[in-house]
Amino acid sequence: MDSKKKKSATALKVNEGIESPPPINEELLKRPLKQKDIHPAEYYVEGIIEGNRSILSQAITLVESSLTTHQKLAQKIIESCLKKSGNSVRIGITGIPGVGKSTF
């Protein structure tokens, strides 16, 4: 068969590809990083006592953090909460990240 006839016998057409985009958006690197605000211990304690789940979750994150500044703040939060705990029982829940300890 003629090679011209083979090309027209198919509906497939191969187009030239495009250049891959860079793996990291350069514009994103130019933006300043936003860091979450770290509040004083009283902010977290008041929020926990008021039943604010969002503030409680932030406090749990501080307790689980390995940063020294977070650990010191977490210790103050725990001490303040224990003073207001009355006869409550303190339990520990362990598990790998993402297992749902905070949800429990």
- Which CATH number do you get for residue 61? 1.20.5.170
How many CA atoms does the CB half-sphere of 25 hold within 13 Å?
A: 4
**What's the confidence (pLDDT) of residue 7?**
57
Give the per-residue pLDDT at 40.
96
pLDDT (0 to 100) of residue 6: 55
Q: Model-level pTM? A: 0.59
Residue 61 lies in a domain: yes
Question: Does 103 reside within a domain?
Answer: no
Domain assignment of residue 69, yes or no: yes
Answer yes or no: is 88 within a domain. no
Please answer whether residues 63 and 74 qualify as being in contact, where contact means their C-beta atoms are separated by less than 8 angstroms. Answer: yes
* Total count of domains within the chain: 1
Q: 13 in a domain, yes or no?
A: no
* Beta carbons of 101 and 95 less than 8 angstroms apart: yes
The CA-based angle 57-61-66, given to 5 degrees, is 170
At residue 51, the pLDDT reads 95
Q: Is residue 12 part of a domain?
A: no
Cα angle 63, 85, 98 (rounded to 5 degrees) comes to: 30
**pLDDT for the residue 29:** 84
For residue 50, give its domain range: 38-83
| pLDDT tens digits along 42-97 | 999 999 999 999 999 999 999 989 999 999 999 999 999 999 888 888 788 888 88
Two tokens, residue 98: 């993402």
* Cα–Cα distance measured from residue 86 to residue 32, given in angstroms and rounded to the nearest whole number: 45
Does a structural domain hold residue 16? no
Statement: residue 2 has pLDDT above 80: no
